[in-house]
C-alpha cells in the first residue's frame, strides 16, 4: 500500500499527520493514542479499530490547501 503525506504537524512525519492511500481516495491518520477511558465515554470501538487524537488545525490546513 503506497501512501502520500498530505499535511502534518512537523515536516518529518513523526507526529500527527494526514496521509492519502494512493489510488483509493482513503485517508490514514497518524495521531496520539487515546488511552484515557474518560475521554471515550459513549464511543464504541469495534474490534480492529482504534481511536487517535489529532489537532483540528491539521484537518483545517488540509481543507484550506487542498479542498478550497
Question: What's the pTM value of the predicted model, to 2 decimals?
Answer: 0.80
Note the pLDDT of residue 63. 93
Note the pLDDT of residue 13. 67
CB contact set of 34 (below 8 Å; sequence gap of 6+): 40, 51, 52, 53
Segment 7-59, tens digit of pLDDT = 998 877 689 999 999 999 999 999 998 988 888 999 999 999 999 999 999 99
Segment 35-47, tens digit of pLDDT = 888 889 999 999 9
Amino acid at each position: 500500500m503506497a501512501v502520500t503525506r498530505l499535511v502534518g504537524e512537523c515536516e518529518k512525519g513523526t507526529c500527527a499527520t494526514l496521509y492519502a492511500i494512493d489510488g483509493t481516495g482513503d485517508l490514514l491518520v497518524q495521531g496520539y493514542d487515546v488511552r484515557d477511558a474518560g475521554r471515550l465515554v459513549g464511543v464504541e470501538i469495534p474490534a480492529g479499530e482504534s481511536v487517535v487524537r489529532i489537532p483540528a488545525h491539521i484537518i483545517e490546513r488540509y481543507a484550506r490547501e487542498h479542498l478550497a
